[in-house]
Structure 1
Amino acid sequence: MPSTHAYALFSQEPDAVLDAVATIGAELVIIPGGIPEEDFTTRDGLARTADLLNGFAEHAGRYGMRLGYHNHWWEIEPRIDGVHALEALAGLLAPEVFLEIDTYWAAVGGADVPALLDRLGARVLALHVKDGPGVKDRPHTAVGQGVMPVPDFLAAAPDALRIVELDNCDTDLYQALADSHAYLTGLERA
């Protein structure tokens, strides 16, 4: 497993969490939330967030791991200094901190996702690929069965790890995952 979310870094000793991550063999440790949404609305909040993530990254580095951050819509909607809050945060992060861009939430938050991915460049090591109606608080669909221009997202970050994520789904989750896999495999063959 190349990556894992490590929300537990907020509530447990970092060494215990990173030991568990080492057990499963992941080298990419991702913070998937846990930072107050309001911290993405001000420069001071972003500075606090960057300090926190940079500290976790330094700790992960001692384990030979890299730390990343996973976005939602609330890191995209606010603008700081004329750019999406996530982009402003990226400028404050240590170079070794990477981003796992959730393409669906970036689009719902108002980003032109291919342009965002292009601007973030090599900072993006992973993509969460999901699909659905493109609005908050509605169930997701299998990738390829919603409104997201998934091929455009993938083309904008061709070397990023692709991870299917369905936060919630009205259909059978396992069938949606199988359908997502088939769709993405079909894109790779095309």
Structure 2
Amino acid sequence: MADHYRALGVTNNASKDEIKEAFRKLAIQFHPDKHVQSSKSARDSATLKFKQVSEAYEVLTDDRKRAAYNLSRYNNKYNGGNFYSNTGYAYNNNYNANYYHRGGSYRRPPRSSSDANRFVSNLDAIFRFMSTRTFLLNIAFAGIILGGTVAIDMSGEALWKMQNPGKSFEEAMKSIEKNKEREDEQ
């Protein structure tokens, strides 16, 4: 993986203004139009360097891309991509499965951030989905329907009490059933 910070010659905690200034200087220095009269190898080298600097600028000035880039750099630096692959680390089942053996001593493996990364990635996807316009419109529509249902139910009870003071709905239903039975008997 290309080191975008090194390509621009800035530190990991450089501000956007520092990144922009470094890019501007390097873009002027390596722009292909400036090397039209140069030899083919110098022109190709400058073009390649300009592409690297442009990619670094694009990634480091976008907050989301920069965060993803920093996270992938961290994973590659500390986990070697896949910590438990064929990198010389092996479990010693006789000692303890929570430790690994390397260089004659037993050590606890560093915590893998892949679970945390997967959780953050899933959480980010959920938040992105929940902030889409369609989702928000559907939630608003469901809220309106639910609110309408509650309002109708409450107004139905209020209307019943206004028209039938002192009588509950259940009592009214029982008296209707009794009247039907009397009519059927006759």
| Same fold, TM-score > 0.5, yes or no | no
TM-score of Structure 1 vs Structure 2, range by shorter chain: under 0.3
Greater strand fraction, Structure 1 or Structure 2? 1
Q: Which has the larger radius of gyration?
A: 2
Which structure is richer in relative contact order (CA contacts within 8 A, separation 6 or more)? 1
TM-score using structure 1 length:
0.24
